[in-house]
A = this chain, B = another copy of it.
Amino acid sequence: MAKTNPGRFFEDYRIGQVIDHAVPRTVGQGERALYHALYPARHALYASDEFARACGLPGSPLDDLAAFHVVFGKSVPDVSLNAVANLGYAEGRWLTPVYPGDTLRASSEVIGLKQNSNGKTGVVYVRTRGRNQHGDAVLEYCRWVMVRKRDMDAAAPEAVVPDLKKVLTPDDLVIPQGLDFSGYDFTLAGEPHRWGDYDVGETIDHVDGVTIEEAEHMMATRLWQNTAKVHFDATFRADGQRLIYGGHIISMARALSFNGLANAQMIVALNAGAHANPCFSGNTVKAWSQVLDKAETAAPGVGAIRLRLVATRGGAPFALKDEDGKYTPDVLLDLDYWALMPR
């Protein structure tokens, strides 16, 4: 029994500690096909090698969120196996596209620790980085999770709360090398709306809905080698329900947002994210977006757009929080990200 991984507890983390996560993973056309089977993903840059080459890339990369899920999944056994809650994300950046045949690995640095006043749990802040086989960083993000203590009497560490940016600025964004939207084909991409057509403050109801099945979210979560028991084992929670991996909702909402944001091709930054309410099999996921900001970039024809992406399980479109500032019960996800779009 001593040989199985019990996961780390709050007192196992130290500021500055770097944890190399296990199980490097080669990704390829199989993962790409499964991504298209699991989500209604239609962004042309991730569906067609020809379209991607016409945009200056060597071929169609793995979906940005698939790369995120692989890196995130690697971190689970070391960071969130004993997590009570996944509290937030910040300073997420995509740094190099991931192509079929690449092998990804990940590591996390502990950048913050704060014991909770109840003495039973604490918040661990990590900066997780994924790298490819050349050692290039492919993406990085901070997240903070509430983790149980093993020993309730263990002394609290000195509280360190990292000073994370609320929002990445346009200067922080890394544009993939060679990206060029000056010859962008709007017909093939599926919508005529370019960067200039979106106004800050504008909201878009993405209309379509997808009812979620157990087999699908479990296949997705396993594909990313995420090992959290709560997603797979119906006997784990008292209510007999399997909690759906929050990343499944992120990918579902992003894919649904094609309808209205077909040209928000590449995700380059994750400013913030909250899994507002748990999602279960049988829920029908819908999505809406709001334009939060816009910026120009140095790449030819490429604009940046900052979007709020909200996933719901119904309810009125554009409803988010109640009078007390709490998310309404139908809101599943509130994500703040930067994407690249043809100008």
Q: Which residue of B lies closest to A220 (CB)?
A: B37
Residues of B near A109 (CB, < 8 A) are: none
Interface check A152, CB cutoff 8 A: no
Are B187 and A209 neighbours in the complex by a CB distance under 8 Å? no
Are A234 and B284 neighbours in the complex by a CB distance under 8 Å? yes
Interface check A169, CB cutoff 8 A: no
Contact of A187 among B20, B50, B207 (CB under 8 A): B20
From known contacts A22-B188, A25-B47, A47-B225, infer whether A3 and B260 are also in contact, taking CB-CB under 8 Å: yes
From known contacts A208-B232, A235-B211, A284-B233, infer whether A23 and B42 are also in contact, taking CB-CB under 8 Å: yes
**What separation, in Å, do the CA atoms of A229 and B28 have in the docked complex?**
29
Contact of A33 among B50, B60, B223, B262 (CB under 8 A): B223
Interface centre among A22, A77, A213 (most CB of B within 10 A): A22
**Interface flags, A7-36, vs B, CB<8A=1, else 0:** 000000000000010111110111111101
Contact of A42 among B4, B20, B225 (CB under 8 A): B225
Contact of A259 among B4, B209, B222 (CB under 8 A): B4
Oligomer copy total: 3
**What separation, in Å, do the CA atoms of A27 and B299 have in the docked complex?**
29
From known contacts A42-B23, A259-B5, infer whether A233 and B204 are also in contact, taking CB-CB under 8 Å: no
Are B284 and A235 neighbours in the complex by a CB distance under 8 Å? yes
Closest Cβ of chain B to A45, distance in Å, is 10
Are A40 and B225 neighbours in the complex by a CB distance under 8 Å? yes
Q: Give the size category of A's interface with B.
A: 35 or more
Contact of A30 among B24, B30, B44, B208 (CB under 8 A): B30
Interface check A277, CB cutoff 8 A: no
**What separation, in Å, do the CA atoms of A207 and B209 have in the docked complex?**
36
Contact of A50 among B22, B28, B133 (CB under 8 A): B133
Are A40 and B233 neighbours in the complex by a CB distance under 8 Å? no
Closest Cβ of chain B to A214, distance in Å, is 5
Residues of B near A259 (CB, < 8 A) are: 4-5, 227
Closest Cβ of chain B to A3, distance in Å, is 4
Contact of A232 among B25, B42, B210 (CB under 8 A): B210
Closest Cβ of chain B to A260, distance in Å, is 4
Among A88-96, A111-119, A189-197, the one that faces the other chain is A189-197
**What separation, in Å, do the CA atoms of A48 and B204 have in the docked complex?**
40
Contact of A209 among B33, B47, B191, B233 (CB under 8 A): B233
Residues of B near A47 (CB, < 8 A) are: 23-26, 225
Q: Which residue of B lies closest to A59 (CB)?
A: B26
Closest Cβ of chain B to A291, distance in Å, is 10
Interface check A51, CB cutoff 8 A: yes
Are A189 and B22 neighbours in the complex by a CB distance under 8 Å? yes
Residues of B near A42 (CB, < 8 A) are: 22-23, 225, 227
Chain A to chain B contacts (Cβ below 8 Å), 12 pairs: A1-B204, A3-B260, A3-B261, A4-B259, A22-B189, A24-B44, A26-B49, A33-B223, A34-B37, A37-B220, A49-B101, A216-B219
